[in-house]
Chain A
Amino acid sequence: MSDRRRVRASLRIWVSLALILVAAVTFFVTRSTPPRPVARPVDEVYLPGYALYSESAERMPVQLFFPGVDLNLKAENREIYRSDDAADRLRQVVLLVLGGPGSDGLLTVFNDGVRLREVYLYEGTVYVDLDIPEKAASPTGALMEHLAVRSVEASLVRGFPEVERVRILRNGREVETLFGHIDVRRPRPLFAGSPAG
C-alpha cells in the first residue's frame, strides 16, 4: 500500500468517526431538551370548559403556524386527537393556536384573556368564534394583530383541504377588527405574497 493510500484510508476513518460523534451528540442534546410546554392547556382556552377527548384516543399529526423571532410564520409539528368530525379536528387546532407554541423560538400570538367559544365549518368556511373580553381589547399593535389572525388562518387552511377560508368572530358577532387594527370582515383565503407569512 502506497503512503498516499494509507493517508487517505486513515483520513476516511477519522472523518467517519467525527461524523458518528456529531450525530451522537446531536441525538442526546435534542433528546435531553424536551419541547417547552404549551403556554396554556386546552381546557383553559376552551370557553365551554368541558373535556373534549379521552386521553386514550388515537392521535394524528398537524402543522400549526406561529411567528418566529424574525416575525415570519413558521410551522410547528403538533398532534391532535383523531376524529371523524372535521369541525372537531379544526376546533382542536384553534385551541392549540390559542394555547401558544410548544417550542422555543416561536411567539405566542394571543394573550391570556382570549378563549375559544366555538368553531363551525360551513361550505368551506371555518367560523372561529373567539371570546375576547373588553379589557383585552387592544393588547397589541398592528403587526402582532396581523400575525395572530394569520396564525389561525394558516393553521386551518394549510393543513385541511376542506377549509377554503376563515372567518373570525368576536364574542359571537361579526366585527371589523379583533383588536382595533386588522380587517377581519371577510372570510379570507391565504393570498400569496402576503407579508409576514
Chain B
Amino acid sequence: MRIQCWSSVKSLFQIICAGFLMGLLGGPAQAAPLEETVIYLDPGHGGDDTGIVGGGGLTEKAVCLDLAQRLKEKIDQRLGHRTYLTRKEDENLSLDERAALANNHRGALFISIHLAAFPDQRYQGVGVFFPARIPHEVASGQEALPDWDALQEAHREHSEVLAGRVHGALRRRFPDVGDLGMHPLPLYPLAALNMPAVLVEPAVLSSAAEEEKLGSDAVLDAMAEAIFEGIDLFLKSGVPGERP
C-alpha cells in the first residue's frame, strides 16, 4: 500500500517536473487542439552559428531573432493565434530540432527568418523561398525518399502561396529596394515540415546600405509588419480555389 502510494507520488512528481521542463524549454506544454492555429517562427542560426556577419558587425542571428520577436508580438496581439519561436534566445539549435518542434506541436505555418549575402554590393532587397519538389525517383538505382522528407509534399502548393503572400507584402512595403525574387529551393529541413513552410530573407546583410537600415527600429518593425501582412492574408484567403 505504502509502495503504491509512493509510486503515485513519484509519477505525480515526474509529471510536474516534465511540465516545468517543457515550460523552461519554451515549447507548448501540450500539443495544441487541432482547431487552433499554431504558428512557428524560426529565427535562423544562433549560438556559435552567427550566420552572416555584416561589414559593420551586425549578425544575422541577432537580426533574425529581433524580427521574429517583433512578428510574434504582432501575431499574438492582432490575430490571437498561438505563436512560438523555435529559439527564444541566442542558442544553438539544430535544423532537425527546429522541424521536430513545429511538427510535434502541430504547427499550421512555419516561417524561417534569415538574411541574404552576395559577393557584390549591387544586391539588395527581398527574397522569399519555399521547398522545391524533390524528385522521389531521381535516378536509376537511387532509393525512394524516406517518410521524413515526404511530409512537405502535401503542403507544397500552400507553401508556394504563402511565399507569394509574404513576398508581395514585403515588396509593397519596400518597393524601392531590389527584388531577389521568390524561388523553390531544396531547403533543409523544410522538406520535413508537415505544414506550409517558407524561408524569408527580407534584406541583404552583405550590403552596407542594408546593414545600416537593419540597425533602425523603424525598418525592422516595417519588415516584421510586412511579413505579418503576408501571413494574415494567407490565413484569411488561403490558396485560390480552396477553403482556407
Contact = CB atoms under 8 A, between A and B. Distances in A.
Interface of A: 69, 71, 107-109, 111, 134, 137-144, 146, 164-165, 176-177, 180-183, 185-189, 191, 194-196
Contacts of B186: 146, 182-183, 188
Given A141-B127, A141-B201, A189-B138, A69 B122 contact: yes
B204 to A, nearest CB: 7
Contact of B199 (A140, A144, A181): A181
| Nearest 5 A/B pairs, CB to CB | A141-B116, A183-B188, A195-B183, A183-B186, A138-B51
A137 B51 CA distance: 8
Given A186-B138, A186-B142, A140 B132 contact: no
A108 B118 CA distance: 9
A141 B115 contact: yes
Interface in B146-204: 180, 183-189, 191, 199, 201, 204
A181 B188 contact: yes
Given A107-B119, A142-B187, A180 B135 contact: no
Given A111-B119, A141-B115, A146-B185, 11 more contacts: A107-B118, A140-B52, A141-B116, A142-B114, A143-B129, A165-B139, A181-B185, A182-B185, A182-B186, A183-B189, A188-B138
A187 B120 CA distance: 30
A141 B63 CA distance: 14
Nearest to A192: B135
22 contacts: A69-B122, A71-B180, A108-B119, A138-B50, A138-B51, A140-B52, A141-B118, A142-B114, A142-B185, A142-B187, A142-B201, A144-B116, A144-B117, A177-B95, A180-B51, A180-B95, A181-B188, A182-B188, A183-B189, A194-B132, A195-B132, A195-B185
A126 B45 CA distance: 30
A176 B52 CA distance: 19
Interface centre among B117, B184, B204 (most CB of A within 10 A): B117
Interface centre among A108, A111, A186 (most CB of B within 10 A): A186
B185 to A, nearest CB: 5
B225 interface: no
Contact of B191 (A111, A140, A181, A183): A183
Nearest to A140: B117
B36 interface: no
Contacts of A186: 138, 142
Contacts of A176: 95-96, 188-189
Contacts of A180: 44-45, 49, 51, 95
Interface residues of B, number: 38
Given A141-B115, A142-B199, A143-B116, A177 B139 contact: no
A138 B187 contact: no
Contacts of B211: none
Interface in B202-226: 204
Contacts of B117: 139-141, 144
B221 to A, nearest CB: 22
A138 B45 contact: yes
Contacts of B180: 71, 143
Contacts of A182: 185-188
Contact of B120 (A107, A139, A177, A185): A107
A196 B183 CA distance: 8
A8 B44 CA distance: 69
Contacts of B50: 138
B60 A138 contact: yes
A181 B60 CA distance: 13
